[in-house]
Amino acid sequence: MNGAGGRPGDGTTGVDRSPFPDGGLRHDALFYAGDRDYRAAVEEFVEAGRAVGEPVLVAVPTDRLPLVRPVVDPLDGVELADMAVIGRNPAAIIATTLRSFVHRFPGRRVRVVAESLWPGRRPAAYRHCVEHEAIINLGLADQPLTLRCLFDRSRLPAGTLADVAGTHPWLVSGGVARLSAGYRPPRSVLRRLARPLPPPPGDALAEPVRPERLGSLRAAVAAVAEAAGLAAERVDDLRIAVTELASNALTHGTGPATARCWAAAGDLVCEVSGPGELTDPLAGRIPPPPTGVRGRGLLLVHRLCDLVDVHVADGVTTVRLHLELPAARVPAPRSAPDAVQGGFVRPTPL
């Protein structure tokens, strides 16, 4: 095997027993089975990075932190993060974690080992995790980043493992990375994952999006959220997010938009829908240039919310956001149940 081939994310790390190009993204997946496998995979990746002086970030779910902390804590140049926190919304990981870590070390190659899709993660996050892995290959292709993603081959279903192969240019086994025979172009993966959103329930709040009514819209969705039991600080997040979606609809839409809000299946759900097509898969995932005056609204929405759906069909764009409700106040399921993965993103500056 050689380093050529033109795939986004070509390359590997760990035991360097194959030639790979020096620049750009190296995005691979490693399947593990059990705690010993897991710790060994993290330790090997960290040691390989330190051997060449590369900063390393280890981002794993909460229950894995005690397992890897002894490997990470004593070492200089190695950081540890809780993926259940920073990856609460998979769509925020690129901006808040991966790209941010790269930009902290200008002129240097960095590496990240992460587990964003783990056994027990709530089902509604699954499609968004797969989208995230595919979009990495688009949005970070030119970045000096070595990214190894960990997946539990013993507990994840077979369909998940196929999606992993489809979104990672390289699969690692025995310290050697091989081309993934199942790899698919990122836009092809995104088209396959695109699907209509469940319709809002008939009793959902519906408000027109108008410049003179933004204050009324914020108050109306906040009232729905408070009645459903959403925590006060999260109601503030909702107000900000809805304002950003409404402002985007007014600025970029081509006709009247409508905002809707309801509670269902453990979520507070709000959407803004109207004419216009949002077709850039990197929108809200990659921050605009520092001098840019636009492009931060959807980025902020991703950081504030637990899950964000973007669906475009027949010339209409719908952006639907979810915030998890406290378990004690979860209403009975309605006609449009959607669940989300919990946690809270610690945002980085816009």
Banded pLDDT at 290 (limits 50, 70, 90): confident
Domain ranges of the chain: 26-193, 205-329
Instruction: Tell me if 26-193 shares its fold with 205-329.
Output: no
In percent, the amount of the chain with pLDDT more than 70 equals 86
* Closest alpha carbon to 344 in 122, 118, 86: 86
- The tokens describing 17, both together, are 């027993």
- Quick one: average pLDDT of 286-314? 87
Single pTM value for the model: 0.85
Banded pLDDT at 20 (limits 50, 70, 90): low
Banded pLDDT at 22 (limits 50, 70, 90): low
pLDDT in tens, 189-232: 999 999 999 999 999 999 999 999 999 999 999 999 999 999 99
Q: Output the pLDDT for position 193.
A: 94
- Fold classification of 26-193 is Rossmann fold (3.40.50)
How far apart, in Å, are the Cα atoms of 175 and each of 109, 110, 118, 134, 143?
A: 20, 19, 22, 23, 23
Banded pLDDT at 293 (limits 50, 70, 90): low
* Closest alpha carbon to 98 in 136, 61, 69, 66: 136
Residue 283's Cα: distance from chain center in Å? 12
- The residue with greater pLDDT, 9 or 23, is 23
- Quick one: average pLDDT of 293-302? 85
Average pLDDT along the chain: 87
In percent, the amount of the chain with pLDDT more than 90 equals 74
CA dihedral 85, 86, 91, 96 (to 10 degrees): 150
User: Is CATH 3.40.190.290 what the domain over 205-329 is classified as, yes or no?
Assistant: no
pLDDT at 328 over 70: no
Reduce the secondary structure of 232-246 to three states and give it as a string: HHHHHHHHHHHHHHH
348: phi then psi, degrees, rounded to nearest 5: -100, 165
Q: Output the pLDDT for position 212.
A: 95
- Quick one: average pLDDT of 151-159? 89
pLDDT at 233 over 90: yes
Are 103 and 349 contacting, i.e. CB atoms less than 8 angstroms apart?
no
Residue 123 to residue 182: CA distance in whole angstroms:
23
- Say which range, 17-21, 31-35, 125-129, 185-189, has the weakest mean pLDDT: 17-21
